[in-house]
């Protein structure tokens, strides 16, 4: 190597060191893990650990409500800052983190688009379908799948005094939410509940592609490489016989049925999206996103709320008493209560809110980018281009919002006389609502998720009793953007007494 080449290498190295030092200094006033100022390895380790929620919360506990977790990345559990970044007229945009949510190897979706104009147009086109206003079958479809789930439990998992048939609640609830999202979205169920199995090997693949997505979120450079023609061959393909590729094929096929000479017409989400101008390629990409984002998060909320209720005897008794009293007073439609009826049950709603608070379903950073001119946060200047992610786990454990017993499952905190003033309850409602996003980045699927929560928890408790199988180790859990729960076994029995409900069968 000649002297000019040596000088060139030295100059490049010095320029690199200078640039990285400037990056380090830009956020030096924000505390964080020691290596976070000049390396993304701490962040990668945290998201891969399976305990990212605890790692993130420790950072904010030790370094303040907004802290540093990467050279250009901050983490916040400040609800005011989160609302500010997500507000309709906010100058903040989606950060590069969202590139990791590009599930289809060649197409973006509503969660991965960073172009605000495209994103806003898609939201406007899709909001009608998600709201249920153009989906004539929404609640009835959910009712039908609830009946199928009850039939499955009755057929295979009800224990008696002489027989014990453990039921994996984590698996059953995921099957249910997958069948719901496929049915309400495009009128065709995956059929998980029908066969009580995972023919797609979807759950197995979650343990592969969720860590991969988190890697892409920390190192977007890797995600950009996946767009190269050669690298696309490594991504899931519609020709795959299992996993996300098979889900892609399912989405492609159901979308194709809406086009051509013999196209199917149905007043569901897919029909609404089509009516509002989405193309066939867009529909394929969006249905894939619906399946992944709309099933795992809701399944987590259902099973964790059920777990928390049934493992707290006084809460279990209070909620059952409310449900049975409402039924005795003919305030619940049978065989399945209506969503509107469940909203009038204050203790049920308190349990649902408390479940969402203790286990916010989405724990990924959902990072937003500071506008080019920069911003002042906690009296400190933050340069433009900085990413700021949320700490949802920590946000839902703010003592000055929810009270000092934030680690306790206590639905009473949401009710008058439960220790919080009416002003505090109003603030709690505002903060817990952030689990579904806020402003122009709010979750479009919230109406569907709430119907599932309102109906499923109430009906399961009315029909069956639940006892956790292993109190010392009730389930296995990983937190990788979403929660992955396994081995959540319960002893399930039929609830005794007349409940005036329609008999269900395996075929329903």
pLDDT at residue 405 is higher than 80: yes
Q: How far is CA 299 from CA 141, 308, 484, in A?
A: 17, 14, 10
Residues of each annotated binding site for heme: 443
Q: What is the pLDDT of residue 113?
A: 87
Look at residue 480 and give its three-state secondary structure: strand
pLDDT at residue 245 is higher than 80: no
199/328: higher pLDDT: 328
- Report residue 272 CA to chain centroid gap: 23
Mean pLDDT of all residues in 228-253:
70
Q: Kindly report, residue by residue over 338-353, the tens digit of the pLDDT.
A: 999 999 999 999 999 9
Dist CA 201 CA 174 (whole Å): 12
**Phi, psi at residue 89, to the nearest 5°?**
-105, 20
Taking every pair of Cα atoms in the chain, the longest distance, rounded to a whole number of angstroms, is: 92
Residues of each annotated binding site: 443
456/228: higher pLDDT: 456
Beta carbons within 10 angstroms of residue 404's beta carbon: 9
Mean pLDDT of all residues in 100-106:
76
pLDDT at residue 411 is higher than 60: yes
**Is the whole model's pTM more than 0.85, yes or no?**
yes
Q: What is the pLDDT of residue 293?
A: 78
Mean pLDDT of all residues in 358-364:
95
pLDDT at residue 477 is higher than 80: yes
At 292, the pLDDT band (50, 70, 90 cuts) reads confident
Q: How far is CA 226 from CA 96, 102, 179, 222, 281, in A?
A: 15, 10, 30, 7, 19
Q: What is the pLDDT of residue 210?
A: 86
Q: How far is CA 148 from CA 111, 194, 373, 438, in A?
A: 31, 7, 55, 34
Name the percent of the chain lying above pLDDT 90. 63
**Of 136-150, 177-191, 493-507, which has the strongest mean pLDDT?**
136-150
**Of 107-111, 199-203, 320-324, which has the strongest mean pLDDT?**
320-324
Mean pLDDT of all residues in 38-53:
95
**With b meaning 16 or more CB within 10 Å and e meaning fewer, what string describes 225-235?**
ebeeeeeeeeb
Beta carbons within 10 angstroms of residue 365's beta carbon: 30
At 500, the pLDDT band (50, 70, 90 cuts) reads very low
Mean pLDDT of all residues in 415-431:
93
At 306, the pLDDT band (50, 70, 90 cuts) reads very high
CATH number of 37-494: 1.10.630.10
Mean pLDDT of all residues in 3-11:
60
Dist CA 290 CA 424 (whole Å): 34
* Rg of the Cα atoms in the chain: 24
Dist CA 206 CA 150 (whole Å): 26
Q: What is the pLDDT of residue 12?
A: 58
pLDDT at residue 22 is higher than 80: no
At 205, the pLDDT band (50, 70, 90 cuts) reads confident
Q: What is the pLDDT of residue 468?
A: 97
DSSP track, 196-220: TS-TT-HHHHHHHHHHHHHHHHH-H
Q: 177-186, 257-266, 346-355, 363-372: which range is least confident on average? A: 257-266
Q: What is the pLDDT of residue 9?
A: 58
Domain chopping of the chain, boundaries? 37-494
SS3 assignment for 119-150? HHHHHHHHHHHHHCCCCCCHHHHHHHHHHHHH
Averaged pLDDT of the chain: 88
pLDDT at residue 501 is higher than 60: no
Q: What is the pLDDT of residue 158?
A: 98
């Amino acid at each position: 190597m000649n002297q000019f080449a040596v000088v060139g290498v030295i100059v490049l190295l010095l320029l690199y060191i200078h640039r990285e030092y400037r990056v380090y200094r830009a956020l030096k006033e924000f505390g964080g893990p020691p290596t976070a100022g000049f390396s993304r390895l701490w962040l990668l380790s945290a998201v891969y650990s399976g305990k990212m929620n605890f790692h993130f919360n420790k950072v904010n506990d030790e370094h303040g409500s907004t802290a540093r977790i990467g050279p250009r990345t901050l983490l916040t559990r400040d609800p005011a800052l989160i609302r500010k970044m997500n507000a309709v007229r906010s100058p903040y945009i989606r950060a590069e983190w969202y590139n990791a949510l590009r599930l289809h190897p060649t197409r973006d979706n509503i969660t991965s688009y960073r172009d605000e104009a495209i994103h806003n147009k898609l939201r406007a086109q899709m909001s009608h379908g998600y709201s249920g206003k153009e989906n004539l079958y929404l609640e009835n479809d959910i009712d039908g799948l609830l009946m199928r789930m009850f039939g499955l439990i009755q057929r295979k998992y009800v224990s008696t005094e002489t027989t014990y048939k453990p039921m994996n609640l984590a698996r059953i609830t995921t099957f249910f939410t997958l069948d719901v999202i496929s049915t309400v979205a495009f009128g065709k169920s995956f059929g998980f509940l029908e066969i009580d199995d995972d023919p797609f090997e979807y759950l197995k693949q979650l343990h592969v592609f969720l860590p991969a997505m988190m890697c892409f979120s920390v190192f977007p450079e890797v995600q950009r490489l996946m767009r190269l023609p050669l690298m696309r061959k490594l991504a899931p393909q519609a020709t795959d016989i299992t996993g996300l590729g098979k889900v892609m094929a399912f989405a492609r096929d159901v979308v194709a049925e809406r086009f051509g000479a013999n196209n199917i017409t149905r007043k569901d989400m897919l029909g609404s999206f089509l009516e509002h101008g989405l193309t066939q390629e867009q529909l394929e990409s969006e249905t894939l996103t619906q399946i992944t984002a709309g099933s795992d998060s809701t399944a987590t909320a259902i099973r964790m709320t059920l777990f928390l209720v049934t493992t707290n005897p006084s809460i279990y008794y209070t909620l059952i008493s409310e449900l049975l009293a409402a039924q005795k007073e003919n305030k619940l439609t049978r065989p399945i209560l209506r969503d509107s009826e469940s909203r009038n049950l204050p203790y049920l709603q308190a349990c649902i809110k408390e479940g969402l608070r203790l286990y916010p379903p989405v724990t990924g950073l959902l990072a937003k980018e500071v506008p080019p001119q920069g911003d002042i946060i906690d009296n400190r200047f933050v340069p433009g281009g900085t990413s700021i992610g949320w700490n949802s786990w920590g946000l839902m454990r703010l003592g000055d919002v929810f009270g000092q017993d934030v680690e306790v499952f206590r639905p009473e905190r949401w009710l008058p006389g439960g220790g919080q003033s009416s002003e505090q309850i109003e603030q709690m409602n505002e903060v817990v609502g952030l689990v579904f996003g806020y402003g122009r980045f709010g979750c479009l699927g919230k109406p569907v998720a709430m119907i599932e929560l309102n109906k499923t928890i109430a009906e399961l408790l009315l029909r069956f009793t639940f006892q956790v199988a292993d109190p010392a180790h009730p389930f296995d859990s990983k937190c990788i953007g979403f929660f992955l729960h396994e081995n959540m076994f319960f002893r399930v029995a039929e609830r005794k007494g007349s409940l005036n409900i329609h008999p269900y069968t395996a075929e329903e």
